[in-house]
Structures are given as C-alpha cells and as structure tokens.
Structure 1
C-alpha cells in the first residue's frame, strides 16, 4: 500500500489537478491523504465532492509543510496493514504525474532496495527541461552539484543515458519512502525545520542509516516552476534575499541552515560558513547574469 501524503493551503486549482492525475494511476493499491492546513478557498469541500475517496485531515493554518506531512504519515501508520509492504509517498500539490508514475516508482524501489526513491522533475511548460535529477554534496565544505547539469538539463538525454541516479539527498516533491524508515529514524523534524529543508534533512538521516537515495528517471514529476520560491530566480530583489535569512518560509533561513550544519556536517561551523557563502555567491551570479529573452 502506498499512502500519498499531500499538504495543501489555498491552492484549489493545483490540488484539483494533482488529485485528478492520481485518480488515473495504473497501479491501484494506494490511498491519498490530503492535509488541508487552514484553506479558505473551498479546497476541502472540493475534495469531498470530486474525490470522495481521498482522506482529508484539516489543520488550523499553523502546521506548515513538515508537521502537515507528519500528520499524514501518522494517519497512514495507524491504518496500515502490517501484513503487506507499506510506503509513504510525499508529494506537492503544484505537480502532476503520468498514469504509470506509481508503477515506475515501485519498480525502481524493487530494483535498488533498501532505498528511498525520488522523482526527477521537469518544467510543466517545457516538459523536456530537466529541473531536478539528484544532487551531490559533501558534509565538509557544502560543495555540491545539481546532477541535472550532467545531462544538459535535458530530460530526453537523461532517459537516453540511464534509468536512475544515485543522490546525496532527496526533496519532498515525489519521494517514495518505506514505512519502516520512519520506525527506524523518526518522522520529519518539524521543530527545527518547519517548512523548508525538513525533506532534505530526513533523507540525509536515512542515508546515514544505510538507505540508498535513488532518483527514478522513469518517474518524472511535472512542476509549475513559476509557483516555486522566487529566491532562486532573477526576480528576487536584494531586500527579498536579505529578508530570506530570517524568514522561516525561506530555504535560506540562517537558523535552519545552521541547525543542519551542526546536526549533520563533520565540520559544523566551517560547513555553515561555506554554505552561506555559496548561497550569497549564487544569488549575486544570478543577479549579474543577463536574462535570456523568451
């Protein structure tokens, strides 16, 4: 059984589209658990009317990604049939997938187990533009690389070369996790990583516990790139970038990145300083790089 856990908040259109593509999956042994964290746009009502088989758990708007996802995992744990293999699939609502998505994730898991299986992601408006295909990074000086660059950010080139990529971390956007992983290492750390980096942190914990982190090239997730954080684009201002260091809604929050460095890095403060330097240098490069005309 795959329990698909999707936190949502006031994105009814995205949620509807995501649930619609899940409803036509060729693999059928799954349940969808939506955590509606205080939506005021009728999301829960829409789900009850159009997708009556979906489990809806309602929060008050203060859960954010990590604890909302934990709610879904706890529900799945409480209702699992322990006589069979059970998985949690974390998924964002601003994505859509092909009908064989669950099937290919499970096939990849069976080939490489014990492991967690992530998804490559592509731009929904440019389906051949590879946005994510795994990462490498060390825990000494925060040096890393986005592995999509190895394939010129070209999804067709990725598929031509390989069916999987081994990664040093996995995001929450389409990651299949065996239920026993949570029994061994715990749930997402919603205390220290309220909204961002909880997914990366859990995957690093899993890798330290002996699980491989595999990205399935055959399981693409189409994401609405325009709906993601602006700090990684040319559109972010210097003020937005600076404010990101203190906002818990930001992936560059200093407290969050310091916590990760202290918990997981072998060099701790040195890693943290290199990490922040890398973030600043990357932002400056993006601001100075000319924007290509569309």
Structure 2
C-alpha cells in the first residue's frame, strides 16, 4: 500500500553514552520533516544527555543500558524494539544517527525522499569532518582478496556502508536482521549489517546532497604504536581499538567469502603479532639506552 510522505514516520535510532551536545539536539529540533519518533538507547549516561533528547517535540522511546552495550549492543536493542513494535509500518523509515554529528534542516526529508525514490536500497549520508572540512566517509568497497577497504562514490562499486546517517525502510531493516553484540560489540557491527544487506541483494547508495558532519575527535583509537608492552596488549584487545584482532576475526567469519576466510584471518593475526613484537623490541631498546 502506498503512503503519502506525511503518513510515513521516521524512527531515529540514537545510541549514546554521555556527551550529547546542544548542537545535535538543535539539528533534530530544526528538521523540516516533523513525523519523527526517537528511539533513544541510553547506555548508562550520567550527564544530561537523555534529558536533552527527551525534551525535543517528538515521541521518545527510551531503552536503558548499563554502560556495556556499546554500538553493536545498542543497535541490537533498537532492532528488537522495532521488530516487536506493531505500530511500525513496512513503509516507515529507520534512520540511524550518531550523537556526535550535525546536519542541515532538510537532512531527514531529503533522506526520506531518496529512500522512497530508490526502493530495495540502503542509503547512508556522506560524512564530512567538523575539524577539517574533508570528506571522511562515503561508500566503501571491500576487496576480500587483500582485506582492503576503499572509499568510493560509485554505486556499482559499493558493497559496504557505515551507519553514520543510514536510511532504510522498516520492512527492509527488519528483513536484513539483527546484530551480533557479542561477536561485534562496537567496530564493524555496522559494516557487517550493510555487507549482509548487499549479499541479500540490496543496493548500497550514497548521494552528494545527503551530508552529515562528524566529530572525528570522539572516535576510538586506530593506532597503538609507541606504547609499552602491557599497554599495547591491553589496548589491542579493547573494544575501543578499531583493529582488535578478535573482532576482526569474527567479522571475517561472518562476512568474508569462504575462499578468502583463512588467509584474511592469518593476515589479521600476523599484523597483531608484529605490533606486539615491536612493542617488546622497543622496551629492549629503551633499557639499553638507559644502561648507556
């Protein structure tokens, strides 16, 4: 059944743990699309983040965590809520927003138009860094033969997307399925979902007119070089580390074609072992320098 734009509700999933600022709340408040419902996954915030969002003039559904949900767990909680909510219609729209982003007043209306114009698609906004003004995220092409991730704006090349401003119909979102909060608690949980969508036959798209501004200073860490052996080992297996070898192994097991699984798992662990060895060598060099 076709629905007019006014009848299509946009359910906005917002995972957060503190640090929701006024600028993000203002972006939501100033949207020209008003039929919005917020799914607020508050993972144990201790500041005023929740009240900033519940004070907005929209229906709010609050899902509470204890600080251990992380991104993947928060998305899975929101997915379960949507799947079990009988008031969600097939043609309603799901939007995932990160609380460290900002966007224009027509961002949601434009995304809703695009998802209606391109059925059987997952659409993600292109991200621009607030700090540098540079484009930092668009479509992604994963080359499994060498486990590389390349940014691309060519729809024919995109087989992966982030969820930093992702739009999908509720029907498609539910059909693609939930998340894996134990196997992928934080990094790569959104990549896995979108790769799964691609493998199910959905088109993954980005558009230059759909822009979101991201605070790159709030991301986790992507490098652990220069640390002591103990700190290197602890950081390597932290959920905040983007290259955590355990979660990258899980990602490969879930997503990678069979012919490339073993070689890519070996790649992940070889890189990790090299980092640990480098930290040990650094300790020995420092001790020698001290003795001299």
User: Which TM class, normalised by the smaller chain length?
Assistant: 0.7 to 0.9
CA distance in 1, matches of 2:253, 2:167: 27
CA distance in 2, matches of 1:65, 1:97: 21
1:174 and 2:165 aligned:
yes
How is 1:9-48 mapped onto 2 (pairs within 5 angstroms)?
A: 9-13=17-21, 16-48=22-54
Larger displacement relative to structure 2 (52-61 or 89-98): 52-61
CA distance in 2, matches of 1:144, 1:79: 35
How is 1:158-197 mapped onto 2 (pairs within 5 angstroms)?
A: 167-197=158-188
How many angstroms does 1:108 deviate by? 2.4
1:272 and 2:272 aligned:
no
How many angstroms does 1:82 deviate by? 5.2
Structure 1's unaligned 5+ residue stretches are 149-161, 285-294
2:204 matched residue in structure 1: 213
| Aligned mate of 1:125, from 123, 131, 155 | 131
How is 1:140-289 mapped onto 2 (pairs within 5 angstroms)?
A: 140-147=145-152, 167-231=158-222, 237-239=226-228, 243-266=234-257, 267-275=260-268
How many angstroms does 1:198 deviate by? 0.7
Q: If the length of structure 1 is used for normalisation, what is the TM-score?
A: 0.79
How many angstroms does 1:83 deviate by? 5.0
8 Å contact kept, 2:37–2:58: no
CA distance in 2, matches of 1:65, 1:135: 20
8 Å contact kept, 1:142–1:275: no
- SS state at 1:136 partner: strand
CA distance in 2, matches of 1:108, 1:48: 28
How many angstroms does 1:102 deviate by? 1.0
8 Å contact kept, 2:141–2:159: yes
Q: If the length of structure 2 is used for normalisation, what is the TM-score?
A: 0.79
How many angstroms does 1:72 deviate by? 2.2
| Aligned mate of 2:14, from 6, 23, 26 | 6
How many angstroms does 1:196 deviate by? 1.4
How many angstroms does 1:65 deviate by? 1.2
- SS state at 2:181 partner: coil
* Pairwise CA RMSD: 2.9
- SS state at 2:236 partner: coil
2:143 matched residue in structure 1: 138
Q: 1:39 to 1:257 in 2, by over 3 A?
A: same
CA distance in 2, matches of 1:244, 1:185: 32
How many angstroms does 1:219 deviate by? 1.1
| Aligned mate of 2:115, from 86, 109, 115 | 109
Q: 1:3 to 1:166 in 2, by over 3 A?
A: farther
8 Å contact kept, 2:221–2:241: no
How many angstroms does 1:241 deviate by? 5.9
Higher Cα Rg, which structure = 2
Q: 1:44 to 1:109 in 2, by over 3 A?
A: closer
Q: 1:70 to 1:263 in 2, by over 3 A?
A: closer
Note the alpha carbon deviations across 1:231-253, whole angstroms, 9 max, x for none.
26xx9644566544311222211
